Structure 1
Amino acid sequence: MVKKWWNEKVAYQIYPKSFYDTNGDGIGDLRGVIEKLDYLKDLGVDIIWLSPCYRSPLADQGYDISDYYDIDPRFGTMADMDELIAEAKKRDMYILMDLVVNHCSDEHEWFKKACEDPDGKYGNFFYLRDKKEGELPTNWRSYFGGPVWEDLPGTNKQYLHVFHKKQPDLNWENPEVREEVYKNINWWLDKGLGGFRIDAIINIKKALPMHDYEPDREDGLCSIRKMLKEAKGIGDFLGEMRDRTFKKYDAFSVGEVFDEKDEEIPDFIGDNGYFSSMFDFEETIWGASDKGWYDCKQITPDAYKKCCFTTQRKIGDIGFVSNIIENHDEPRGVSRYIPEGDCCDASKKMLGGLNFMLRGLPFIYQGQELGMENVKFESIDQVDDISSLDEYKVALEAGCTPEEALKAVSRFSRDNARTPMQWTDGENAGFTTGKPWLKVNANYTKINAESQMNDPESVRSFYKKLIALRKDPEYKETVVYGELEPVWEDVHNLMAYYRKGDKTLLVVGNYQKEPQTIELAGECKKVLINNYDNVAMDGNKIELQGYQFLVIEM
């Protein structure tokens, strides 16, 4: 594997709407990100990915872009963005933006022109089909529920949207669409952007000609994934995009890639891959159900371990995967991957450590470094996220009681990760002086950045130690590039692996509240990281306390 400038970095995702509000309107803004750069630098962050802050009606929280060349006034101005890029650069940090090019907003100029003249140039920027009474062009179900077809206003046609109806899909088969996308990417890279996180990119290639599939629910529709499994040739688009944009700038790109085939991994993230990296979603899709969230299984420690190792084996040394335990589309990792009732500082540190020491690029989502948890919803009226509202409806239609439906939504809702960042124990968690756009998690008085900054035992301080180890010249070669070799795989509720490079490190987490004993295969040279004050060692035997996490130099 060819080494790249970003291999040794640590990345951090910001959801601008919920990060820090400087003007009191209840919505986070770019000036808030600028103000908190030193907080991130202190943590050890090098790369910052911003969720969309382009001009948008926010039907899907900014993933519906109405102008790719402008910042939404809610978040600030283009001058603020230029300042953010410049201030980050001063601190040797890189800014990534979200590249959302499977679809745009129905308020984008292109779509407005398509409505005016569906048979003209801009009609071909989208997937349009003639409307037939009582019949849809295909029976595909959108990711947010309901059919993927919607009437094109003022015409006798319908347009395709695999997400929200305000997110019409762009027709990537049209070279003019691709040219517009590349022009925009290069415009941003010329501004000094470090690169992009690439949203929902697998969806850009449709299986043509379009046709129906076997329905999988009583609504007579089928999951959009059935079409994607049949779609061939996405590599032609992605290779062209790489060559025309990222490659020319040596920019960092990380893909949101689902449903990739094992044999395609070198194409995606090999030495000449379409992207620099792609996210590991093995854990996030575990236990998913076609029926909906209400039918999803709760992941166990053993299943979590298996997911992590499956990805590590699959990727090997082909390239760098990006490791996450949460993001803006997922619930909080500590509430998802730690057994119910066991959330505490020790278990949060263990989960963070097990994820962070994997081979690949670690991504921290805002608040993860504080151990932020899922929010408690008392009523569906407190939920903002469109996919959560749809899943609530799906659960009710399947016969769940409102209480059961709310419980399912609460477990998986994207709002869990979107509640305001908890800066202080003051009003609105120090996020805003106004009324926050989404309610603050009630536990902000206990979990907040201010109380953790100078506490050497805090979750945040533990993340700092993990980052410092990754960057330590003595251990960097092993932690960043070393092989990963699982150990004691069959031991229940124990996750352990070696990182082997010029040194040998044993990473081990006791994934339960009961103690557990392990016997080392060699001599312990040094304990580098420990989420407890002590290690109960007798010869080569270690009695691990509940949720104890260790990194041992062997």
Structure 2
Amino acid sequence: MKKKWWHNKIAYQIYPKSFLDTNGDGIGDIEGIINKLDYLKDLGIDILWISPMYHSPMVDNGYDISDYYAIDPMFGTMEDMKRLIDEAKKRDMYLLMDLVVNHCSSQHEWFQKAMADPDGEYGTYFYIKEGKNGQPPTNWRSYFGGSVWEKVPGYENKFYLHSFAKEQPDLNWENEVVREKIYEMICWWMDQGLAGFRIDAIMNIKKDLTWSDLEPDGPDGLADVYKVTGKVKGIGDFLLEMKHRCFEPYDALTVGEAMFVKEEILPQFIGDQGYFSTIFAFEPCHAYRKGKNYMDYDWPQPFDDWKKETFHNQKIIEKAGFEANIIENHDQPRGASLFIPEEDYGFYSLSALAMIMLCQRGLPFLYQGQEIGMSNRRWEYAEFNDLETINQYHIAREAGMSEEQALKIASHHSRDNARTPMQWNHDENAGFSTEKPWMPVNENYKIVNVKDEEKEYGSILNFYKRLIAFRKSGEYNEILTYGDFKPMYEEEYHIFAYSRSYGDQKLVLICNFSSEGKSVELLEDYESVVFVNYEQTTVIGNRLQMKPYECVVYEKR
């Protein structure tokens, strides 16, 4: 594998609407990001992925774009955006934006023209099909629930396709003119000084052009549209064209949102010849969903499933390239709540989770607030903002669940958990804004916040700083970036352990990810402990006596 400029870096996702409000409107803005660049640099961050700030009606919080060439006024101006790019460069930091090109907004000029004349030129920019006697062309279910088809206004038997909300019509990638306009836009943004893109919902751009029904998988008679991606071929033609036209000339970092890519085709997606630089390692985060209905998910995520998926994922990736490792993002519940039982939440469990993630092979992606231990909040139904959460709540109610049961399930898994305002201090609104925030603040902000944790040496924030510095140190950066990953103690209950090897250097991480003490037999002699989340370790004979959530990194040469 060729060494690339981004391999040994640490990345951080910003959800701008919830990061920092500097103009008192309750919504985060570009100036807020600029204001905190030094904080991020001090944390050890090199790469920033910023969720969409393009002009948008905000039906899906910016993932419905009405103008790809404009910054939405709620965030600032294009001049502000250029200043952010410049200020990041001054600090040797790289900027990624979201690339949302499976769909656009129903307010986009192209779609407005398509609806005015669905049989005209702009109608071919989208998927507009005849229905079946006034019924949708297929039985596909959108990601947000209900049919993927919406009637074209003024027509009884014409429908347009939307894999997500009806306000997010899918773009027709089969149309060469559409692709050319997309590529032109991507290159324009790269010319503004971006380092690359995180590429949203990209696996959906190739459709089943036979428009065949799928086997129903729910009482509504519909089937999830993501199943289409598993049966169609030819997406690689689009992805390779986009890579050659837009990314290769700029040596861009591209992070694809490509879920559950099969092992045999992974080299086509990542690595030296792949469509993308890397893809997100979703499988370990989604282990609790595997083969289960939304209403049957376990909570928190079962440890064995998480460990098994991590080990499997690391194994199949090693020959293909690099993955981007996460424990949370804007589309997930908080990692502190997904992986840690509520009664165990605290410094040792949070620090153990951090070590497990940051010492793995791959590009670490932190999500805003992860470094201070932000967790899920407690919700009332009226507080939900996320379309997906609201739809899932109603699905649970229609399935016979009580209001209390449906609220509990929706609260656990809601994307809104990751979108609560960043907790900067213990003042009103967590220091996010001087006015009422667009989203409720988590009630724990008085004890979980940047300002207080910066002052405390033993805080999770300062632990993250030390851990990132350890990963980036001259002594351990090469092995933690390029070293082989080998699972250890696979059958040991609640022990998460693996080794990293590079040349004649070897590191071994052993973690007791539980609230009970454990005794673990050391399989070889180690020269030293190089990182740990407790002040000291205890070894009796050849057995490591591990405290709850103790995590140790040994070195052997």
TM score, norm. by length of structure 1: 0.98
Say if 1:315 and 1:42 are closer, same or farther in 2 by CA, change over 3 A: same
- Residue 344 of structure 2 corresponds to 342
Higher mean C-alpha displacement, 48-57 vs 544-553: 544-553
Deviation, 1:340, is 3.6
In structure 2, the gaps of 5 or more residues are none
Q: CA deviation at 1:540?
A: 3.3
CA offsets 1:329-374 (integer angstroms, 9 cap, x no match): 0000010111342111100110111011110000000000001010
Bigger drift between 415-424 and 333-342 goes to 333-342
Q: CA deviation at 1:293?
A: 2.4
Q: Which residue of 2 aligns with 1:434?
A: 435
1:179 is matched with 180
- In 2: Cα distance, 1:185 partner to 1:166 partner: 22
The residue type paired with residue 376 of structure 2 is N
Q: Contact 1:376 / 1:410 at 8 angstroms: preserved in 2?
A: yes
Report the Cα distance in structure 2 between the residues aligned to 1:173 and 1:300, rounded to whole angstroms. Answer: 42
| Other-structure match for 1:39 | 39
Once the two structures are superposed, what CA deviation does each residue of 1:515-546 show, in whole Å capped at 9, x if it has no partner?
A: 11122223232222111111112343211100
The ranges of structure 1 where at least 4 consecutive aligned residues each deviate by more than 6 angstroms after the TM superposition are: none
**What is the match of residue 246 of structure 1?**
247
1:284 is paired with a residue whose SS is: coil
Is this contact kept in 2: 1:301–1:338, CA < 8 A?
Answer: no
Is the 1:217–1:291 contact (alpha carbons within 8 Å) kept by the matching residues of 2?
no
Contact 1:253 1:277 in 2 (8 A): yes
Report the counterpart of residue 8 of structure 1 in structure 2. Answer: 8
Secondary structure of the residue aligned to 1:314 is: helix
Distance 1:291 1:531 in 2: 35
1:291-319 Cα deviation digits (max 9, x unpaired): 74222123211211111111101101321
Corresponding residue SS for 2:452: helix
Say whether 1:166 aligns with 2:167: yes
Task: Measure, in 2, the Cα distance between the counterparts of 1:53 and 1:301.
Answer: 36
Residue 203 of structure 2 aligns to a residue whose secondary structure is helix
Give the corresponding residue for 1:110. 110
Uncovered stretches (5+) of structure 1, i.e. residues with no partner: none
Q: How does 1:17-166 map to 2 (within 5 A)?
A: 17-156=17-156, 157-166=158-167
Residue in 2 that maps onto 1:305: 307
The reply to whether residue 189 of structure 1 matches residue 190 of structure 2 is yes
Q: Which residue type is aligned with residue 194 of structure 1?
A: A
Asked if 1:352 corresponds to 2:350, the answer is no
CA distance in 2: counterparts of 1:61 and 1:280, whole angstroms? 23
Using the alignment, how far apart are the partners of 1:526 and 1:284 within structure 2?
32
SS of the aligned residue for 1:550 comes to strand
Deviations 1:427-472 (A, max 9, x none): 0000000110000000000100011113221111111122111211
Contact 1:525 1:553 in 2 (8 A): yes
1:499 matched residue in structure 2: 500
Q: Aligned equivalents of 2:62 and 2:168: distance in 1?
A: 10
Residues 270 and 319 in structure 1, CA contact (< 8 A), matched pair in contact too: yes
8 A Cα contact 1:115 1:155, kept in partner: no
What does residue range 352-431 of structure 1 map to in structure 2 within 5 Å?
352-377=354-379, 379-431=380-432
Counterpart residue type for residue 318 of structure 2? G
The answer to which of 197-206 and 149-158 deviates more is 149-158
> Superposition pairs for residues 459-538 of structure 1, below 5 Å?
459-502=460-503, 503-538=505-540
Judge conservation of contact 1:18–1:421 (CA < 8 Å) in 2.
yes
Preserved CA contact (<8 Å) 2:66 2:105: yes
CA contact under 8 A between 1:115 and 1:154: conserved in structure 2?
Answer: no
Check conservation: 2:260, 2:283, Cα contact below 8 A.
no
Matches for 1:309-320 after TM superposition, within 5 Å: 309-320=311-322
Q: Report the Cα distance in structure 2 between the residues aligned to 1:231 and 1:540, rounded to whole angstroms.
A: 54
1:283 deviation in Å?
2.1
Whether the 8 Å CA contact 2:288–2:302 is kept in 1: the answer is: no
1:289–1:295 CA contact under 8 A, matched in 2: no
Letter in 2 for 1:205: K
> Which residue does 2:216 correspond to in 1?
215
- Report if aligned partners of 2:102, 2:204 keep a CA contact under 8 Å in 1: yes
Paired AA for residue 480 in structure 2: V
| SS, match of residue 266 in structure 2 | helix
Answer whether contact 1:300 1:339 (CA < 8 A) is retained.
no
Contact in 1 for aligned 2:288/2:305 (Cα 8 Å): no
The SS at the match of 1:407 is helix
CA distance, structure 2, for counterparts of residue 95 and residue 229 of structure 1: 32
Secondary structure of the 2:445 match is: helix
Instruction: Note the C-alpha offset of 1:60.
Output: 0.3
Name the stretch that deviates more: 152-161 or 326-335.
152-161
**Residue 247 of structure 1, CA deviation:** 0.6
Give me the whole-angstrom Cα distance separating, in 2, the residues matched to 1:386 and 1:20.
23
Q: Percent identity?
A: 53
The 1:73–1:292 alpha-carbon spacing in structure 2 relative to 1, beyond 3 Å, is farther
In 2, the alpha carbon distance for the partners of 1:437 and 1:151 equals 32
Taking the aligned partners of 1:237 and 1:477, their CA distance within structure 2 comes to 34
**Structure 1 residue matching 2:508: 3-state secondary structure:** strand
Report the Cα distance in structure 2 between the residues aligned to 1:205 and 1:500, rounded to whole angstroms: 39
Moved more, 15-24 or 524-533: 524-533
Contact 2:22 2:28 in 1 (8 A): yes
**Paired AA for residue 165 in structure 1:** K
Alpha-carbon distance between aligned partners in 2 of 1:7 and 1:308, rounded to the nearest angstrom: 20
Contact 1:229 1:259 in 2 (8 A): no
Partner of 2:207: 206
Contact residue 141 and residue 147 of structure 2 kept, 8 A: yes
Residue 481 of structure 1 and its aligned partner are, at CA, apart by: 0.3
Q: Any idea what SS the aligned residue of 1:445 has?
A: coil
Partners in 1 of 2:452 and 2:552 — Cα distance?
25
Q: Secondary structure at the match of 1:484?
A: strand
Alpha-carbon distance between aligned partners in 2 of 1:532 and 1:214, rounded to the nearest angstrom = 52
How many residues in Structure 1 have an aligned counterpart in Structure 2? 553
Q: C-alpha separation between the residues in 2 aligned to 1:501 and 1:330? A: 33
Q: TM-score with structure 2 length normalisation?
A: 0.98
CA contact (8 A) 2:6 2:253 kept: yes
CA distance in 2, matches of 1:329, 1:154: 35
- Cα distance in 2 for partners of 1:117, 1:98 equals 30
Q: Within 2, Cα distance between the matches of 1:307 and 1:349?
A: 21
